Structure 1
Amino acid sequence: MKRLLTLLMALAMTASLAACGGTGSSGDTADSGNSGTTAEGGETAGSSGVEDGVLTIAMECAYAPYNWSQSDDSNGAVPIKDSDAYANGYDVMIAKQICEANGWELEVVRTDWDSLVPGVQSGVYDAVIAGQSMTAERMEQVDFAGPYYYASIVCVTKADSPYAGAAGISDLAGGSCTAQIATIWYDSMLPQIQDAKIQPAAESAPAMLMALETGTVDFICTDMPTAKGAVVAYPDMKLLDFTGSDDNFEVDEGEINIGVSVRKGNAELKDAIDSVLSTMTEDDFNAMMDEAIAIQPLSES
């Protein structure tokens, strides 16, 4: 653990192409490679960019409904490497389908948001399935398979807030707000709100929600799945969806498309993942996300 923590800290500081700065932490993981080892089910793992038939993926395990940690294997949760906890959520559901179709075993590594891009760039893990937007900036640093979800941008406020009746982003003018660090919500969306009192970015999605719940901010900006999960976990919150309004956030396709990132040039792995995702429709994605929201824990461990 200490050795890998040191490695990830170094990666986060030195990877000039990293999407996010900062340090990360995770357990030891299998190296990515192309050894040609035969995976379960007769697949040649190396031909798909996966060593030893084990797809090692990284996620925060703290970003419901995309991913979270829990204390047991209920509802199909899988073990988190070097931990007594289990991972579940939409990302885990997608990962399980990818692995089943390719004859791979699944290994989940828990790490922080800032470590996702540097870790996949260096081969610490094979892929990131963690609710990442397929932005142009990230696509310069990693390759993306997918999308595996299309997530519109929304806001969340308290039901008794003066902003609860907002019909567009102009109605949020002057409010205090935040979003998760190193996301398009914080970097690109909040600045579009006139006179917004933008507070320091939250280190994680749970921290972002807690800032709203405790009254530190008037509203937060996030994507639709995170917002839907929030109003389930916190019944005193209200989702603000300006879709279809002329008074909405300006976004491009990459900011709402969620993808699986792999190391630049790993075409075999990207293609193997795409071969699974291409068989699924937007309705399939939405149905699976609804299932994840329904089983998410009300508070994450």
Structure 2
Amino acid sequence: MRISKRIVLAAAAALAVTMGGAQAQDMMKLKIGTEGAYPPFNNLEADGSLVGFDIDIAKALCEEMKADCEFVTQDWDGIIPALQAGKFDAIIASMSITEERMEKVDFTNKYYNTPPALAAPKDTDIAGVTKEDLAGKVVGAQGSTTHSNYAEATYTDSEVKLYPTADEYKLDINSGRVDAVVDDVIVLQDWLATDDGACCKIVGTITPVVEIHGPGAGIAIRKGEDELREKFNAAIDAIRANGKYKEINDKYFDFDAYGS
């Protein structure tokens, strides 16, 4: 029996379309939760786009995993409950891996680790970052973070004020309502480079306390989703090995944010 070339080509094209559709259906779909208010790690732009180190890393991981990923923004203080409720499948939002959070969610391995720091007005009389240096001062930090936990545990001779977002403590230090603020050194440096941050300077970095700060920032997923966690871990290792992590890192930093 002879089959015309036209029929063969049509059949091949139909098979390709069918296989392509099946592959598209089989592609893992993930919703990634992030805050969108923590530059330069994640920030929601005026046009609605999300930018930052977390966002670029998330996109690289999704590409490595061959996953179709969608971003969902969520206020920080409700981000873990939103994950648990199924609003998204993973949190990629500079979330430090801590024992307290591990009671509620599982974490991947870290994908970066940068130290905390303390910033104050340029004319401050604060000379260091110790409890004694901050005695009698008002210290600001974003609530429900390792930085607020550290401030409350360490600066017991100070008034510690907590804020829903980093933007709000920045407003208060600019207006003189707080004497110093604690956050990730990169977040503070990024702010100080703007007009709004011209008020202030880095007083010093803070030696991380593992019990409070954990080993770095990881990706949070729901308890028991071991397969997804290991896919993320393998993707983190892959982008570290193939140079993609360095490409993203060098876009934002002049050092290796992965840490030791």
> Normalising by the residue count of structure 1, what TM-score does the alignment of the two structures yield?
0.69
Equivalenced residue count is: 232
Give 1:1-301 correspondences, 5 Å limit: 42=23, 53-72=28-47, 85-163=48-126, 165-166=127-128, 168-199=130-161, 201-233=162-194, 234-242=197-205, 248=207, 250-252=209-211, 254-279=213-238, 280=240, 288-289=248-249, 291-292=251-252
Pair 1:132–1:240, CA change in 2 (3 A): same
Q: What code does the residue aligned with 1:104 have?
A: A
Tell me the alpha carbon deviations over residues 81-124 of structure 1, each in whole angstroms, 9 at most, x when there is no partner.
xxxx1111111011011111011222111110122111211222
CA distance in 2, matches of 1:235, 1:290: 25
Pair 1:223–1:203, CA change in 2 (3 A): same
Identity %: 26
CA distance in 1, matches of 2:166, 2:30: 25
**Stretches of structure 2 lacking an aligned partner (at least 5 in a row):** 1-18, 255-260
Pair 1:178–1:284, CA change in 2 (3 A): farther
Q: What code does the residue aligned with 1:291 have?
A: K
Pair 1:235–1:135, CA change in 2 (3 A): same
CA contact (8 A) 1:129 1:260 kept: yes
CA contact (8 A) 1:120 1:128 kept: yes
CA distance in 2, matches of 1:212, 1:92: 28
Q: Point out the structure with the larger helix share.
A: 2
Pair 1:289–1:156, CA change in 2 (3 A): farther
CA contact (8 A) 1:177 1:217 kept: yes
Tell me the alpha carbon deviations over residues 38-74 of structure 1, each in whole angstroms, 9 at most, x when there is no partner.
99995985xxxxxx632211111111111101134xx
Q: What code does the residue aligned with 1:117 have?
A: I
Q: Following TM superposition, by how much is the alpha carbon of 1:237 offset from its aligned partner in structure 2, in angstroms?
A: 1.7
Q: Following TM superposition, by how much is the alpha carbon of 1:194 offset from its aligned partner in structure 2, in angstroms?
A: 4.9
Q: What code does the residue aligned with 2:224 have?
A: G
Q: Following TM superposition, by how much is the alpha carbon of 1:160 offset from its aligned partner in structure 2, in angstroms?
A: 1.6
Instruction: Find the counterpart in structure 2 of residue 29 from structure 1.
Output: none
CA contact (8 A) 1:230 1:237 kept: no
CA contact (8 A) 2:77 2:164 kept: no
Q: Following TM superposition, by how much is the alpha carbon of 1:254 offset from its aligned partner in structure 2, in angstroms?
A: 4.8
Q: What code does the residue aligned with 1:202 have?
A: Y
Secondary structure of the residue aligned to 1:278 is: helix
CA distance in 1, matches of 2:228, 2:102: 16
Pair 1:263–1:249, CA change in 2 (3 A): closer
**Stretches of structure 1 lacking an aligned partner (at least 5 in a row):** 1-37, 46-51, 73-84, 295-301
Q: What code does the residue aligned with 2:159 have?
A: K
CA contact (8 A) 1:56 1:107 kept: yes
Q: Point out the structure with the larger strand share.
A: 2
Tell me the alpha carbon deviations over residues 193-222 of structure 1, each in whole angstroms, 9 at most, x when there is no partner.
2511222x1111111222212211000111
